[in-house]
Structure 1
Amino acid sequence: MSFLSKLLVVAGLFLLPNTVKAAWLNSTGEIETLILYSQNQILVKLKDNNGAPVAACSNKEHFIIPASYSEESRNRMYSTLLAAKMAGVPASISYSEVDNCDAWGATPNVYRKITRITF
C-alpha cells in the first residue's frame, strides 16, 4: 500500500461519525427525601419521578451525590437541593446514562450519580 493510500485511509477514519455518545438524562420533580450519611454520601429521591433507569445502576429510586466529589461540590449540590425542598419547587437532576454509577460499599445498591442540578 502506497503512502498516499495509507494517508487516505487514515483521513477517512477521521471522517467517520462518532458512534459512542454519552448523554445526560434529566428528571424533574419536588425533592421527596434527602438522606445524609457519615460516608459523605447524600441520597436524593424525587416525588413521583424515579427517572430513567441506567443499566449499570441497580437502585432505580434514588440518586446520589457521591463522596468522590469534592467537599465544595457536595456542599453546593446539597444546598441547592435543600433550597428547592424548602421552597417546594421542582428541581431538575441530570445524570449520565453511561458509566455514571456509585456503589454503596459491599451492598448491592448502586446509585445514579448526580452531575447537575437546576431549578
Structure 2
Amino acid sequence: MLYAKVDESGEIIDVATEQSDEYKLLVAPNDPIVATLLEQKFTASNTKTQEMLTTSDSEMMRVLEDLVDLLAEKRLIQFTELPLAAQKKLLSRKWVRGVHNGGDEGLISDDENFTPGNDSLI
C-alpha cells in the first residue's frame, strides 16, 4: 500500500509505504503522479546506491591489497604465484600510494627491479 503526502491544494507531493500523520491518503501505484514520484525516488536511490558501491569498491580494493601483502608476508602465498598482470597492478598501486602519501611505502629502489620470481618486493 502507498500513502501520499499532499500540499494545501490537495496535490500529491510525495509517497511512502507507511501511513503517518503526513502521509494519510491511500493511493494507487498506477496513478500517473504517484508513478512519476516513485520513478524519481527509484532513480535517486539507484544513483545513491551506485555512488556507495563505487566508494566501497575503492575501499575494498585497498583491503584486498593489504590482504595480499599479509598473505605474502606470512608466506601463505608467494607474490609470484599471482598472474603477472595482477603483480604489476598491485605494485603500481603500491607505488602510487607511496608517492601520494609522501613516503617511500611501496617504492621500488633501483636494486629491486621487478622481475617475475622476485618475492622480496612485498
Q: Given the two structures, how large is their TM-score scaled by the length of structure 1?
A: 0.29
Say which one has the larger Rg. 2
Identify the structure with bigger relative contact order (alpha carbons < 8 Å, sequence gap 6+): 1
